[in-house]
Structure 1
Amino acid sequence: MKKFSSTLILIAIFSTLLFSFKVFAEISPEQLKAKEKGIELYNQFKAISATPYLKIAAEAGDHEAQYYLAEALRKNNKYITPEAQSAYEASALQGDIYSMIRLAENSDDLCVAMENCPKSRKTPKEWLNMATDAASAAASKGDAEAMYLMFRITNDDTWLEKSAENGYAFAQHYLASGYQGGKGFFLLPSSRAEVIERLMKSSAEGGYPQGMMSYAAIRARKKDFDTFRYWNEQAAKTGYASAVFGYGSYLSENPSEFGFPHDLTKSYALIYSLLELDGGGGVKDYAEDILPEIATQMTAEQIETAKKLSKEWKESHPPLSYFPDKL
């Protein structure tokens, strides 16, 4: 009887400790806000500005923030620093496959040539095995993103095709882009074109902004301008910087080659919103080039109205992003 009671006590203590750990591992609303801001800046190619925000959530134990922090540090320094290594490992040990893959690639990092790679808890091969096991287990349960990660791990196109077939929008765009570049075998050129269009359409419908723009371009070449306009606007609404620029530019044309309405106020508002992208990517330069041209057709009052509309657009839509490949 005494032994049974001791067992119950041990179970109770273990459960309490486990519960306490889970509470500790959860991030607060403030930490979540910092994480989201950090990822937003990172996706705008502002890795230096993103770092302090990502650190807040990373230090609280968030594995995704740890991964993005490590990525920001690696890109800022051009190689994996000890701080980046520590963040990758903390993330990987929580099951983050992206971090495992990055650690598995460490043997190709610039730090190897510099002979100053930080000490790792595991070898690149051990991290690779860990990534393979984790991704394979998730893929076997139907996780389409994990199937894509298996492709990145193995370089086996079968996994990329499976990921696309199972609805991962990024993989659908990736695979279609490969086919556009000549990858794969098709009996007829028309068959290749049909598969590319089907994949790009699925990617667009799956919510991937670059898929939206690629599908729009296919339809434009077929003179289907209604579909082109629709997907260009939808991509802009996701915050995709290139699409915002394209949509804004088309609205300034009179007449419009693709049938967009002539709306200088909205055109100026959208292009003006891109001026915050001062971290790279080139879109800000394009915006600065075209804004004066649009302004010459507007009154001072219309420009002020456009700036207010730009602020309203920003508040009612997702943050601007280049949507870079997470790997």
Structure 2
Amino acid sequence: MKNLRIIALFALFFSGAACAGLTVAEQAAKARGLMLFNQYKAAQPELRIAAEGGNAEAQFYLAEDLRKEKQYITTEVYKWYEASAEQGDLYAMIRLGRSNGDLCRTMNNCPSEKKKPEEWLAEATTIAKEKADRGDAESLYIMYELTADRKLLEQSANAGNPVAQYRMAIGDRQGEGFLLPWKRQQSVETWFLASAKGGNPKAMMQLFGIYREKGDLEQARYWVEQAASTGYESGVYNYGYFLAVEPNTLGFTMDKTKGYALISLLKELDGGGAAQVDVEETLPQIAKDMTPKEIEHAIQFAKKWKNEHPPLSFYPEKIEF
């Protein structure tokens, strides 16, 4: 199973408030741009449409995509971070606030700034603290990341933030906090379960691994299927693999058609990540025992699955703190 990174989850379908002010076409461009960004594909043309329409989230993600491409904060990257930050986006403020060590400063060619990095960081901290003091789960998590105060992480987790819940599980497993040895594993599972129930597919895959190791195959099957249903790349791959290649390992009924269909969907993730290595290795292994008619059925099943489920995603972190 692939190593799981700590992530922040951000859906591909947005509320009306998140897209306020955008035209229908700009909203569609934003949704597609974020989908492509989460698939490690070229997302700038779509994100730029929504960013130019004034959407702060699109401006942040456009800046992120440009920064990753250029490897440092260029004048254009800074412009979009600043536009997003000026609308109150905390993640854009944090990115600007942590730009002191950026390559542009080393090269002495940073863009002109309306505020210094420390001013942006101070503003982000002030806003996040105000919201955190009112119990806002995401702001509590941001304050934890800004201060490293684990009490804030636990408060965010108790307030229902799936990312904080995931981090609590990881921390407990690594020995953080004050827990009796025989209670630590239970705490790990409790936090992963809360995070998974909150929609975090990486927590779902952690539960899949835990229950598989315990021999609770019913729960292992349940959580790998749930992770796949979110569009999470690892969940889709593992669900397809255990249906078509090693069904007895989890107690599945062999289903090469469905397994082939699921893994074939991952061919779409050709913009980055390691998905293609798995596809190229596993798909021929499944196909060699299938008839042309079965493969055609699998192709039709894949189309149906794609229409009925969220887009495939690596669920990358929104920002690395």
Fold similarity call, TM over 0.5? yes
Aligned residue in 1 for 2:257: 265
Tell whether the 8 Å contact from 1:150 to 1:159 is kept in structure 2 after alignment: yes
- Partner Cα distance (1:155, 1:65) in 2: 28
SS of match in other structure, 1:257: helix
Q: 1:102 aligns with which of 88, 91, 95?
A: 95
Aligned residue in 2 for 1:197: 189
- Output one character per residue of 1:146-204: Cα deviation in whole Å (capped at 9) or x when no partner: 1111112222222111111111011111221122233333232x211111110000001
- The alpha-carbon distance between structure 1 residues 213 and 254, as it changes in their structure 2 partners (threshold 3 A), is closer
Aligned residue in 2 for 1:132: 125
- Output one character per residue of 1:212-258: Cα deviation in whole Å (capped at 9) or x when no partner: 11122112222111111111101100000011000000001355211
User: How far did residue 282 of structure 1 move?
Assistant: 0.2
Aligned residue in 1 for 2:38: 43
Which segments of 5 or more consecutive residues in structure 2 lack a partner in the other structure? 1-16
Tell whether the 8 Å contact from 2:237 to 2:266 is kept in structure 1 after alignment: yes
Aligned residue in 2 for 1:239: 231
- The alpha-carbon distance between structure 1 residues 229 and 305, as it changes in their structure 2 partners (threshold 3 A), is same
Aligned residue in 1 for 2:5: none
SS of match in other structure, 2:249: coil
For the pair 1:221 / 2:213, whether they are aligned, the reply is: yes
Q: Which has the higher helix share?
A: 1
- Partner Cα distance (1:202, 1:322) in 2: 21
Tell whether the 8 Å contact from 1:251 to 1:266 is kept in structure 2 after alignment: yes
Aligned residue in 2 for 1:82: 75
Q: Which amino acid aligns with 1:176?
A: A
- Partner Cα distance (1:278, 1:144) in 2: 35
Q: 1:120 aligns with which of 113, 129, 133?
A: 113
- Partner Cα distance (2:109, 2:296) in 1: 53
Tell whether the 8 Å contact from 1:277 to 1:283 is kept in structure 2 after alignment: yes
Q: 1:30 aligns with which of 25, 29, 42?
A: 25
- Output one character per residue of 1:54-86: Cα deviation in whole Å (capped at 9) or x when no partner: 000000000000010010011111111111111
- Aligned identity (percent) is 48
Q: Which amino acid aligns with 2:267?
A: L
Aligned residue in 2 for 1:169: 162
Q: Which amino acid aligns with 1:52?
A: P
- Partner Cα distance (1:163, 1:254) in 2: 39
Greater Cα shift, 216-225 or 253-262: 253-262
- Partner Cα distance (1:281, 1:226) in 2: 30
Tell whether the 8 Å contact from 2:245 to 2:286 is kept in structure 1 after alignment: no
- Partner Cα distance (1:199, 1:288) in 2: 35
Q: Which amino acid aligns with 1:284?
A: Q
SS of match in other structure, 2:106: helix
User: How far did residue 136 of structure 1 move?
Assistant: 1.0
- Partner Cα distance (1:255, 1:234) in 2: 17
Aligned residue in 1 for 2:137: 144
- Partner Cα distance (2:90, 2:154) in 1: 20
Tell whether the 8 Å contact from 2:165 to 2:192 is kept in structure 1 after alignment: yes
Q: 1:299 aligns with which of 268, 275, 291?
A: 291
Q: 2:51 aligns with which of 58, 70, 73?
A: 58
Matches within 5 A, 1:11-22: none
- The alpha-carbon distance between structure 1 residues 93 and 254, as it changes in their structure 2 partners (threshold 3 A), is closer
* Higher-RCO chain (CA-CA 8 Å, sequence separation at least 6): 2
- Output one character per residue of 1:253-306: Cα deviation in whole Å (capped at 9) or x when no partner: 355211122100000000000001111110121111110010001001111111
Greater Cα shift, 109-118 or 259-268: 109-118
- Aligned CA-pair RMSD: 1.5
Tell whether the 8 Å contact from 1:25 to 1:61 is kept in structure 2 after alignment: no
Aligned residue in 2 for 1:278: 270
Aligned residue in 2 for 1:13: none
User: How far did residue 111 of structure 1 move?
Assistant: 2.0
- Partner Cα distance (1:31, 1:123) in 2: 31
- Partner Cα distance (1:147, 1:131) in 2: 12
Tell whether the 8 Å contact from 1:204 to 1:212 is kept in structure 2 after alignment: yes
Q: Which amino acid aligns with 1:72?
A: D
- In the alignment of these two chains, the number of paired residues is 302
